[in-house]
A = this chain, B = another copy of it.
Amino acid sequence: MPAKAHFESTYERAVQLEQILSNTVPELIKFVNAAEKERSQHIAGGSPFANGGGHTSLVDPLCGSRESLEKTLSSNGFLALNEEGAGAQGLQRLLDSLLRYSVNTSAPGFMDKLYAAPLPPGIAAELVLGVLNTNLHVFQVSPVLSLVEKHMTKAMAKIFGLNGPRSGGVSVQGGSASNMTSIVVARNTLFPETKVEGNGAVKGQLLLYTSAHGHYSIEKAAQALGFGSSSVIAVPVDECGRMLASELERLVVEAEHQGKVPFYVNATAGSTVLGSFDPFEDIHKIAREHNLWFHVDAAWGGGFAFAAKPELKGQLRGVGLADSVATNPHKMLGVPVTCSFLLAKDLKQFKEANTLKAGYLFHDDETAQSRDISNGASKNSDDETPGDDWNEPWDLADLTLQCGRRGDSLKFFFCWKYYGTSGYSTMVDVAYMNACHMSTLVDRESNLTPVLSKGRAPDCLQVCFYFTPAGQFVHELFTESGRINVQEGGVDQTTEKSQRARLGKLNSQVTSGIAKALIPRGFMIDFAPALEGQEDRGSFFRVVVNISTVRETVERLIQEVVTVGTSLVADLKTNAGPVGLQR
């Protein structure tokens, strides 16, 4: 009876673990190695399709169809949850399918998302966390991991210029959670009565501000937290996607005149699409004047804190003025997903915003570290001078919305120790150099058009552009040749905007068509919907350069986009219209 055997051996975990890992590790090394080899091919100028095989390390083509993948994994027994255990051998077969049908994010062509190839020390830390298997809710069960979290969050807070005596932070389970937590802390700090009475305790609608290019997590959080989506005001941006501080001020003043209660502004350091950095100093000034909590979402662009180049570090000027900063080392800094911090000027606010009594977990009366907490909580929260009244909590769950917390900081800690601050600086600087290189290639390539003006260096590591065969947007091409009459069926073309949107639709379809066609060629790149006012141009590519990207990869990508795009448009021309693209 194999099941029984497996069960009995749960008392021999060291043996089991050794057996499983000795099977698993070599497969994982092979998986990473396949990606490395492909990068070497890029560098050597070879084709990944040269040596037979005909596929890249990025992803198996079967994954293109969810139905086919599901069918395959059902028929090969992968998905079956059986009465009998499959043991180590069964696990080995699982692993085979698992790796085969996963995206290899270490592949050089994975430039789709704001995270990419994981750094090896971070991977090892995942394994260590699995073995330690503890929870950073109370110090007693996670002594050294709690210390690492404290230490790393303080170090990060300092790097961002949050230098107060009570500065620090907490690790949170992702950027959305970081942003959400900052809103809770903001509300509970500015309006402590809401802790007991809820949002309704404040007369007048509570309002949050974020730029039109800010991440959707602010709206999602505001909705979850009971403010409703109407409470989130999208502040207009300039032509490069930066929040217009003057518009922020205008909107805040307007709302105040209407009896509403602006209380929170989120500024973005490295927006999701264009990578723009908001003018933090200007925003801070307005926040201070109007008593708004000033949060910076640096989930992505926060990585620039490690740059050596002053112009990159400079993008973060003013972030240190914030009340709270979210940053995700799992994005630019190559730490395995997830690793996110919410940093703060004054951690005491976190404690007071989030603490709740739970005698079965936090033993206020019994231990020294918990005694610190109860003292902290009993003091006057308005006291801005830290002193004896602030005994840092060591039971970290008391600072967050969570109870169970994984020691994610360890992953970043391992990477930082392994590469050193200077290693990280080089990685970030080189990545930006490659982004600039790509941006220059886009400018020069006659079939591509940058989303922002030519000659402009990227704000962050994203390079955004349109495919424009011979300098024309695809719809212009087809309108000229008469193959598509864009005026057809124009019942709802009353406004200029909807007319533009209709024009842009074909470009968007070509963009997504190219993105899809690039996958079997080893590149996964994302695209973003038309910018406000540029609806006729449709969606555009957003390529994310990362700390493992090499020059040769971005050069190859440019060629591939042009090749694939040209062929796709040629197909369109020979057909009666963009049939293959229409839904």
Contact = CB atoms under 8 A, between A and B. Distances in A.
Interface string A142-184: 1111011001000100000000000000000111110010001
Interface stretch (A79-87, A344-352, A562-570): A79-87
Contacts of A118: 130-131, 133
Given A90-B418, A356-B219, A229 B550 contact: no
A95 interface: yes
Contacts of A216: 356-358, 361, 403
Interface string A464-500: 0000000000000000000000000000000000000
Interface string A386-427: 000000001000000111111000100110111111110011
A476 to B, nearest CB: 21
Contact of A143 (B101, B226, B418): B101
Interface stretch (A19-27, A256-264, A377-385, A436-444): A19-27
A20 B124 contact: yes
A173 B527 CA distance: 28
Interface in A289-344: 328, 330, 336-338, 340
B196 A420 contact: no
B128 A196 contact: no
A194 B127 contact: no
A16 interface: yes
B184 A173 contact: no
Task: Tell which of A2, A3, A13 has the most Cβ of chain B within 10 Å.
Answer: A13
B354 A220 contact: yes
A66 B7 contact: no
A479 to B, nearest CB: 21
Contacts of A211: none
Contacts of A88: 418
A323 to B, nearest CB: 18
A446 interface: no
A550 B124 CA distance: 31
Contacts of A98: 128, 132, 144, 410
A433 interface: no
A518 to B, nearest CB: 12
Contacts of A142: 102-103
A51 to B, nearest CB: 18
Given A14-B36, A33-B14, A421-B81, A63 B173 contact: no
Contacts of A285: none
Interface string A345-377: 000000000101111110101111101000000
A223 interface: yes
Contacts of A119: 10, 13
Interface stretch (A197-205, A244-252, A447-455, A571-579): A197-205
A500 to B, nearest CB: 16
A434 interface: no
Nearest to A63: B143
B199 A200 contact: yes
Nearest to A200: B200
B140 A524 contact: yes
Interface in A61-94: 63, 66, 69-70, 73, 79, 81-88, 90-91, 94
B143 A512 contact: no
Nearest to A28: B131
Contact of A173 (B125, B221, B402, B550): B402
Nearest to A194: B228
Contacts of A112: 140-141
Nearest to A426: B7
A512 B366 contact: yes
B404 A330 contact: yes
A240 interface: no
A188 B224 CA distance: 9
A50 interface: no
Contact of A97 (B141, B144, B423): B144
13 contacts: A3-B423, A7-B426, A14-B32, A28-B131, A79-B151, A101-B144, A175-B403, A198-B206, A198-B226, A225-B226, A337-B406, A360-B542, A366-B512
8 shortest interchain CB distances as A-B pairs? A226-B226, A198-B228, A126-B130, A85-B420, A359-B529, A118-B133, A14-B33, A199-B226
